[in-house]
Structure formats: structure tokens, C-alpha cells
Amino acid sequence: MNALIPLLALLLCSPARAQKAEEPSCEEMAATVTRPAMDAVMSAVRSRMRSRKRISPLDFDQIFDDGFFRGSKRPFDDIRTFEQRVSETFAGEGAQIRDSYRRWASERLEEGPLKPYVEHGQDTITVVLRSPQLAKGSLNLDINKGRIKMTYQAPLKLQPPGRPPARARKFDKLLPIPERADPDKYRIEPRPDGLLIIFDRARTGATEASE
């Protein structure tokens, strides 16, 4: 996965702005967006490298923990800058850290068999989690201000008609709260093949105050 400048910085940064010497560059704006949360992340990585000389994919479940998601204003934008921060901070150990991070990101951030999508209503924003592949009753959710954590069981691919279903495996995935959704006001509606997470649409004043 390539390190990306956070979306907020891209939205704020235009070519004209970048050309003005007296105003910060795109890169400086990106650093401002990510610095508080990512400084704590890099400190945790340094601590593990000092004690064990290497870092495993599972370590990132503790590094990007609930405290990180609650403390960062844009946690998924911050996570995308991790490889860039590693390159700037570590020398010889950087390759091993990036390899473990990519394996973690593949398991936690990339889509699995369950492919969520978002539906926008006038007063609500709905995350749709539905798939015929889901093992019945296996979908579990944990929602906080910064993320949706979901665990479920499903086969990696559907079998052709007439063949027995493929063996299911467990998936643990992290999803962002949709933009403009109120993370504190939602309801869950079960469906035979999954469920819906229906968030209230955040009021503009409340959203700006939280950011």
C-alpha cells in the first residue's frame, strides 16, 4: 500500500495555494493533520523495535487501538500516512516494519467477501452489510467515534451451483464512519443476509464543532 496524503489536506490544498511562498505547502498541511495521532503511533513502534528488534502484523492491532481511533480526528487518513512516516523515521528496520504493516492492512483494511456500501438518505446515512456468503449469525459489530469494527465468517469465494459451500474463515475488518454521519446516533436493523447500520445525518454545526 502506498503512503497517501490525507484527504483533508488534499481538499484544502490547491495548486494556487501551494505556489504561494508565504503559505504552507501540501506536505506541511498533511503533517499538521496527522502529527498528534501519528506521533503516538511512531512512539509505540519505536518502543517495540527497541525491545524486540522487529514488529509483527498483530502488533498493529494494539498500535492502532481504540485509543488511536478516539483520539484522531481522521484516523483512516492518518493510517494511510504510516509508510511515509516509517521511511522518514527508520533506516534499516523500515523494510521489516512496512512489510508487517502491509500484511496487517491487507487483513484489516482491504475488502473481504463482505463488501460494504453506503446509501445516503435525506436524514440518514446507511452502511449496508449484506452478502449471501455470510455464515448465519456470524456478523458482529463494535462501533465507536472513529471506526466500525466488524467480525464475520464467510468463504473466500462462492461455489458453483450444485457444489457444497466452501469452508468459511473468520474475517476482522475496520471501516471508517461515513462522512457526515453522527457516530453517536445510529440503529442496527438485521436482515436475513446481514444487517444495516443506519446513522443519523450529523448537523453541520455539530460536525464542525467536533472537528
All three cell numbers of 115, joined, read 463488501
Percent of the chain whose predicted confidence (pLDDT) is above 70: 79
Print the SS3 string covering 64-103.
CCHHHHHHCCCHHHHHHCHHHHHHHHCCCCHHHHHHHHHH
Whole-number Cα distances in Å, 115 to 53, 74, 165: 36, 22, 19
**How far lies 33's CA from each of 28, 72, 77, 137, 151, in Å?**
9, 9, 9, 39, 30
pLDDT at 21 over 60: no
Q: Which residues contact 95 (CB under 8 A, 6 or more apart)?
A: none
Confidence class of residue 137 from pLDDT cuts 50, 70 and 90? confident
| Entry pTM | 0.74
- pLDDT tens track for 88-121: 988 888 999 999 999 999 999 998 888 899 999 9
